[in-house]
Chain A
Amino acid sequence: MIRTLNDYWEKQGALLLYPYDMEKGAGTFNPHTFLRSLDRKPWKAAYVEPCRRPKDGRYGENPYRGQHYFQYQVVMKPVPENIQELYIESLACLGLVPEEHDIRFVMDDWESPTVGAWGLGWEVWVDGMEVTQYTYFQQVGGLEVDPVTVELTYGLERLAMYIQDVGSMFDLKWNDETTYGDIYHRNEVENSFYNLQEADTALLWNTFEANEKECLRLVREELVRPAYDYVIKNSHLFNLLEARGAISVSERTNFIGRIRRLARACAKAYRDSENGGEKDA
């Protein structure tokens, strides 16, 4: 499936890239998307991204939900005029042709307050099942983006379950002998215990504080990429703390604000350097 998508998007001119080597909640955090969407240069890329959402841990008992899963991410800038057709064709390559499947674009405006980003778009349904998040970015890191980047995020487990016609992601066949569950089930169980019960909140909290300082220091040193790594780290720490129930409702807003501040600082520093010091309007 990944190979099919890779072949297809490579033909559309996308660079085939690799995941970023850090824990993150979505492929959007990968600098290939986050930072690249901020400059003016054309950019087309496709990559698989393993993601972690600590709160979604279900000890491997829920057939559809896990704290670790894979996304297939496509970003394009500027947006090709026929992007919707391109996307539908990619589904057809996976066997989901519009003549046999009800493919629908259902409004779903995307927003990530933690990184000060939002965009408009849809969740794409195939026969009632959500398989892709499709977004035209409008702001990233609190900055207007120009040109606009389009982001297509395929939920690989969902799609595979549909194509292989199985009821649980753990029953997906990785190949003829090995299932997804053989590889990842134990990981789900252990990490669910860690995320929801065992994570040392004091340690996470201290790390969060230290990371924040380091991030701001690096921005001052104009080392945008290392600084941005700390944004990713803190976003994940926040997700862990939240999964542990260590953040109250009122603290939550404050926490999100702190991460957003870092994301904005990085976005601004990146844009200043990439656009030759050109200031955002």
Chain B
Amino acid sequence: MRDFLLEIGVEELPADYIPGALASLEAGFRALFDESRISVESSDAFATPRRLTLCCRGVAEKEDDRDEKITGPPKTICFKEGKATKAFEKFLEKNGLTEEDIFWEETEKGPYLAARRFVPGRPAREIIREQWPRILAAVEFPKKMRWDESGLLFARPVRWLLAFWGDEVLPLKAGVVEAGRETRLLRNSPVKRILIHNLSSYLEEMEKGGVILSRDHRRTMILAGLQKIAEENLASSFYSEALVEEVMDLVEFPLVLTGGFEEKYLILPPEVISAAMSQHQRYFSFYKERQILPVFAFVANGTFTNTGKVVRGNERVLRARLDDAMFYWKEDISKGPERLYELLGTVTWMEGLGSLGEKAARLGHLSGLLCPEDKTAREGARLAKIDLVSEMIKDGKEFTRLQGTIAKHYLQEDGRQEEMASIAEEHYWPRVWGDPLPRPRAAAVGLADRADNIVGAFIKGFIPTGTKDPYALRRQANSMSAILLGYEEGVVSVEKGFGLESIQGLFQAAARLYPREALPQEKEPELLRQVNAFFEDRFRAQLRSLDIPYDIVDAVCDTPEKNLKVKYQKALAFKALSGREEFRDVAATFRRVSNIVKKAREELHREEFGSPRPELFVEKETRAMNGEWTKVKEEIRRAGEDYSRIFDEILRFKAFVDPFFDTVLVMDKNEALRNNRLALLQDISDQFGEIVNFDHIVVT
């Protein structure tokens, strides 16, 4: 048994490439060992920006020996008239077999010559050599590059390679680089290159040289460093955990350092300060309660003779960024919300659909419809977009993500009430399906904003298809569904959902706010049809994502019901009911009812069969069904939204419908009889159709 060490030394890999690359390298070797039945005692995979490393302990010298069956020609070819043929002898000779080794294997086509042969396992080092180029090529990266004449493709240039088989160097290559004994340490360490003898010496040297191979270890070091700084500054939290995951893959030895900034910058909103730190610079900010502190932490790579210059340099960079933010902040505050609102009029929103100012005006109107008599909502909606023309958002790359939050701060600075100001921030929530929901007023403005966006994009013909959705309309529609259903963090709470009777009504109102030049009256119905179909499609997809089977989704959605909350509740109820064993049978029966009516409508070219006249029913089955129907109808009406009770009624009623179908021919020659029966069936079908459309239920 030997230890196997592989290290691919590279120029700095992008942080987010590292986990995937390491996993694919590890998987490549695992597959090699498994397929060749080479036993390995233990293995570890490590990565830093400059190396991908695989350490395997106790690797078997060779693959397992095995018996292999080989098959030759059929018996009829091997022996002719009882004599061995040339073919038979050739086969033995070629495989080094004697007649004692062979046996006859029975197959569908008769007996075939066969033999077992002992195959000694090949040396593991040779298999590794052979498979290496394939494994190297299969290391996964989002993007690969070329850099020298070898044409090797990798995320960044490979500069050294270690491949130790015990103490021996395996002659592997990566492009022009041949495996050697030398690896590299940090660029700022006193010794930059070092000789390795085997896996153990490698791990020792890495530790001594200050290269932290383990990602988990680096994460722990960073968290400990941040914790310490937090304690020193009496901070209660830092921003953000997500940044730790990125930063740990930017360094080989995380040295957590801290610096400060002048208190004059603290007049900036904490979100702005945090963004200036985290977005580009990957600095951590610290909070005491909700107050941001004038300190920051950053993670340097390695150790330094003294850290003074490093800290000062980073402080200077942060100061420059905060200066930028301060400049934007002061400019915007001096303009004030109303001036910014005016400026919205000078910027095009969507080509041909007017300015951002017009958009903001529409938003005000539409929100007013959703929150009648609510001045706060209407005013909040009107001013919700002012930051789009602010210096902070329009120019500062790292601040664009604060869209909405910035508007909130500007409104607060202007002395507007908190509830109104926060509409600007919250109306973008939930940013994606599942994110936290806004408060009701912001929810209304958010619905209005997205309805307007969807209608506008559809007017311009930007209709999402396949992977193309440049305005992220699907995401917006999903957010609308989340608001209407009260869905956040994995849970639907219908009582939290925004009360809206009809989403179609909202889209129609949104469409009517566009000038007629943009949307001529005659085009409106078709546009709304498209918009509604798009939304319906998204809504159904979201119901399915909540684990409701697609046939149930279609059955409850394909009803005249407009209220999405009701649709959801119905879907849940019918999902539960679909577990009952009678469910599919009930569906089949009532599907038959609606099919007959549909077919009759087509064949007889009639839209309608009027109301049933009880005196015209002759057969006892029909009379019984009709009599029962009157009761069932009343029961269903009374049951309201108790779908379980409704279903019980339907189930009970099925006992009257089945005999009817068994004995009565609906399409009687007598027109009056026939139409009267159809009238009854139509009434049943229509009533049920209001609740659920059984046509979609998968019956088998």
With a cutoff of 8 Å between Cβ atoms, the chain A residues found around residue B156 in the complex are 120
Tell me, in angstroms, the Cα distance from A140 to B111 when the chains sit together. Answer: 65
The reply to whether B145 and A104 form a contact with Cβ atoms under 8 Å apart is: no
The reply to whether B12 and A100 form a contact with Cβ atoms under 8 Å apart is: no
Instruction: Out of B49, B305, B317, B348, name the residue touching A99 (CB < 8 Å).
Output: B305
Residue A102 at the chain B interface, CB threshold 8 Å: yes
Q: Which residue of A lies closest to B143 (CB)?
A: A120
* Stretch from A122-130, A192-200, A232-240 forming part of the interface with B: A122-130
Tell me, in angstroms, the Cα distance from A274 to B684 when the chains sit together. Answer: 83
Residue B271 at the chain A interface, CB threshold 8 Å: no
Instruction: Out of B11, B148, B302, B317, name the residue touching A105 (CB < 8 Å).
Output: B11
Tell me, in angstroms, the Cα distance from A112 to B237 when the chains sit together. Answer: 41
Instruction: Out of A78, A99, A106, name the residue touching B188 (CB < 8 Å).
Output: A99
With a cutoff of 8 Å between Cβ atoms, the chain A residues found around residue B143 in the complex are 109, 120
The reply to whether B306 and A100 form a contact with Cβ atoms under 8 Å apart is: yes
With a cutoff of 8 Å between Cβ atoms, the chain B residues found around residue A175 in the complex are none
Residue A9 at the chain B interface, CB threshold 8 Å: no
The reply to whether B313 and A127 form a contact with Cβ atoms under 8 Å apart is: yes
The reply to whether A138 and B310 form a contact with Cβ atoms under 8 Å apart is: no
Residue A1 at the chain B interface, CB threshold 8 Å: no
Residue B594 at the chain A interface, CB threshold 8 Å: no
Instruction: Out of A62, A78, A102, A150, name the residue touching B301 (CB < 8 Å).
Output: A102
Tell me, in angstroms, the Cα distance from A88 to B147 when the chains sit together. Answer: 19
Residue A14 at the chain B interface, CB threshold 8 Å: no
With a cutoff of 8 Å between Cβ atoms, the chain B residues found around residue A106 in the complex are 12, 250
Residue B135 at the chain A interface, CB threshold 8 Å: no
The reply to whether B145 and A120 form a contact with Cβ atoms under 8 Å apart is: yes
Most buried by B among A63, A99, A119, A162: A99
Most buried by A among B15, B159, B187, B323: B187
Instruction: Out of B250, B306, B318, B320, name the residue touching A104 (CB < 8 Å).
Output: B250
- Closest Cβ of chain A: how far from B307's Cβ, in Å? 9
- Closest Cβ of chain A: how far from B252's Cβ, in Å? 11
Residue B316 at the chain A interface, CB threshold 8 Å: yes
Most buried by A among B15, B147, B250, B318: B147
The reply to whether A248 and B318 form a contact with Cβ atoms under 8 Å apart is: no
Instruction: Out of A127, A146, A248, name the residue touching B310 (CB < 8 Å).
Output: A127
Residue A48 at the chain B interface, CB threshold 8 Å: no
Q: Given A105-B11, A107-B14, A126-B313, verify A138-B146 contact (CB < 8 Å).
A: yes
The reply to whether B313 and A79 form a contact with Cβ atoms under 8 Å apart is: no
Instruction: Out of A98, A122, A148, A167, name the residue touching B12 (CB < 8 Å).
Output: A122
Instruction: Out of A128, A150, A250, name the residue touching B318 (CB < 8 Å).
Output: A128
Near A by CB (< 8 A), chain B positions 409-429 give: none
Q: Given A136-B147, A148-B148, verify A127-B309 contact (CB < 8 Å).
A: yes
With a cutoff of 8 Å between Cβ atoms, the chain A residues found around residue B15 in the complex are 107
Q: Given A88-B187, A120-B143, verify A127-B317 contact (CB < 8 Å).
A: yes
Q: Given A102-B304, A102-B310, verify A79-B148 contact (CB < 8 Å).
A: yes
Residue B478 at the chain A interface, CB threshold 8 Å: no
Instruction: Out of A64, A107, A120, A146, name the residue touching B320 (CB < 8 Å).
Output: A64
Residue B241 at the chain A interface, CB threshold 8 Å: no
Q: Which residue of A lies closest to B188 (CB)?
A: A98
The reply to whether B310 and A101 form a contact with Cβ atoms under 8 Å apart is: yes
Tell me, in angstroms, the Cα distance from A67 to B319 when the chains sit together. Answer: 22
- Closest Cβ of chain A: how far from B249's Cβ, in Å? 10
Instruction: Out of B13, B146, B298, B351, name the residue touching A128 (CB < 8 Å).
Output: B298
Q: Given A78-B148, A148-B148, verify A128-B313 contact (CB < 8 Å).
A: yes
Tell me, in angstroms, the Cα distance from A26 to B283 when the chains sit together. Answer: 29
Tell me, in angstroms, the Cα distance from A233 to B317 when the chains sit together. Answer: 34
- Closest Cβ of chain B: how far from A255's Cβ, in Å? 15
Near A by CB (< 8 A), chain B positions 318-352 give: 318-320, 323, 327, 348, 351
Q: Which residue of B lies closest to A145 (CB)?
A: B146
Tell me, in angstroms, the Cα distance from A126 to B310 when the chains sit together. Answer: 8
Q: What is the 8 Å Cβ interface bit string for chain B, positions 22-47, against chain A (1 contact, 0 not)?
A: 00000000000000000000000000
Most buried by A among B149, B283, B320: B320
Q: Which residue of B lies closest to A103 (CB)?
A: B187
- Closest Cβ of chain A: how far from B130's Cβ, in Å? 27
Tell me, in angstroms, the Cα distance from A103 to B50 when the chains sit together. Answer: 14
Tell me, in angstroms, the Cα distance from A133 to B496 when the chains sit together. Answer: 50
With a cutoff of 8 Å between Cβ atoms, the chain B residues found around residue A129 in the complex are 313, 316-317
Q: Which residue of B lies closest to A129 (CB)?
A: B317
- Closest Cβ of chain A: how far from B222's Cβ, in Å? 15
Tell me, in angstroms, the Cα distance from A105 to B305 when the chains sit together. Answer: 20
The reply to whether B309 and A100 form a contact with Cβ atoms under 8 Å apart is: yes
Most buried by B among A63, A88, A127, A148: A127
The reply to whether A84 and B11 form a contact with Cβ atoms under 8 Å apart is: yes
The reply to whether B314 and A127 form a contact with Cβ atoms under 8 Å apart is: yes
Residue B300 at the chain A interface, CB threshold 8 Å: yes
Main secondary structure of the interface of B (DSSP, over half): loop
Q: Which residue of B lies closest to A88 (CB)?
A: B187
Tell me, in angstroms, the Cα distance from A107 to B159 when the chains sit together. Answer: 18
Residue A249 at the chain B interface, CB threshold 8 Å: yes
With a cutoff of 8 Å between Cβ atoms, the chain A residues found around residue B283 in the complex are 128
Tell me, in angstroms, the Cα distance from A162 to B310 when the chains sit together. Answer: 12
With a cutoff of 8 Å between Cβ atoms, the chain B residues found around residue A248 in the complex are 348, 351
Residue A19 at the chain B interface, CB threshold 8 Å: no
- Closest Cβ of chain B: how far from A110's Cβ, in Å? 11
Tell me, in angstroms, the Cα distance from A147 to B157 when the chains sit together. Answer: 14
Residue A81 at the chain B interface, CB threshold 8 Å: yes
- Closest Cβ of chain A: how far from B134's Cβ, in Å? 24
The reply to whether B351 and A63 form a contact with Cβ atoms under 8 Å apart is: no
With a cutoff of 8 Å between Cβ atoms, the chain A residues found around residue B351 in the complex are 248-250
Tell me, in angstroms, the Cα distance from A119 to B146 when the chains sit together. Answer: 10
With a cutoff of 8 Å between Cβ atoms, the chain A residues found around residue B147 in the complex are 79, 136, 148, 150
Residue B663 at the chain A interface, CB threshold 8 Å: no
With a cutoff of 8 Å between Cβ atoms, the chain B residues found around residue A102 in the complex are 300-302, 304, 310, 313-314
Tell me, in angstroms, the Cα distance from A220 to B595 when the chains sit together. Answer: 71
Q: What is the 8 Å Cβ interface bit string for chain B, positions 126-157, against chain A (1 contact, 0 not)?
A: 00000000000000000101111100000111
With a cutoff of 8 Å between Cβ atoms, the chain B residues found around residue A249 in the complex are 348, 351
Tell me, in angstroms, the Cα distance from A146 to B148 when the chains sit together. Answer: 8
With a cutoff of 8 Å between Cβ atoms, the chain B residues found around residue A119 in the complex are 145
The reply to whether A128 and B314 form a contact with Cβ atoms under 8 Å apart is: yes
The reply to whether A105 and B12 form a contact with Cβ atoms under 8 Å apart is: yes
With a cutoff of 8 Å between Cβ atoms, the chain A residues found around residue B309 in the complex are 100-101, 127
The reply to whether A101 and B313 form a contact with Cβ atoms under 8 Å apart is: yes
Most buried by A among B49, B143, B145, B250: B145
Tell me, in angstroms, the Cα distance from A120 to B147 when the chains sit together. Answer: 10
Tell me, in angstroms, the Cα distance from A150 to B147 when the chains sit together. Answer: 8
With a cutoff of 8 Å between Cβ atoms, the chain A residues found around residue B155 in the complex are 120
The reply to whether B250 and A128 form a contact with Cβ atoms under 8 Å apart is: no
Tell me, in angstroms, the Cα distance from A146 to B680 when the chains sit together. Answer: 80
Tell me, in angstroms, the Cα distance from A99 to B304 when the chains sit together. Answer: 5
Instruction: Out of A84, A100, A126, A146, name the residue touching B305 (CB < 8 Å).
Output: A100
With a cutoff of 8 Å between Cβ atoms, the chain B residues found around residue A147 in the complex are 148-149
With a cutoff of 8 Å between Cβ atoms, the chain B residues found around residue A64 in the complex are 320
Residue B220 at the chain A interface, CB threshold 8 Å: no
Residue B85 at the chain A interface, CB threshold 8 Å: no
Q: Given A138-B145, A147-B149, verify A104-B316 contact (CB < 8 Å).
A: no
With a cutoff of 8 Å between Cβ atoms, the chain A residues found around residue B157 in the complex are 79, 136
Q: What is the 8 Å Cβ interface bit string for chain B, positions 450-478, against chain A (1 contact, 0 not)?
A: 00000000000000000000000000000
Residue B281 at the chain A interface, CB threshold 8 Å: yes
The reply to whether A128 and B11 form a contact with Cβ atoms under 8 Å apart is: no
- Closest Cβ of chain A: how far from B549's Cβ, in Å? 43
Tell me, in angstroms, the Cα distance from A64 to B319 when the chains sit together. Answer: 12
Give me 6 other A-B pairs in contact (C-beta within 8 A), A99-B304, A146-B146, A150-B147 excluded: A63-B323, A64-B320, A79-B157, A102-B304, A127-B310, A128-B317
Q: Which 9 A-B pairs have the closest CB atoms?
A: A127-B313, A107-B14, A105-B12, A128-B314, A128-B317, A98-B188, A102-B300, A120-B145, A98-B187
**What would 12 A/B residue contacts be, using CB atoms closer than 8 Å?**
A62-B327, A100-B310, A102-B310, A105-B12, A105-B49, A107-B12, A127-B310, A127-B312, A127-B317, A136-B146, A138-B145, A148-B145
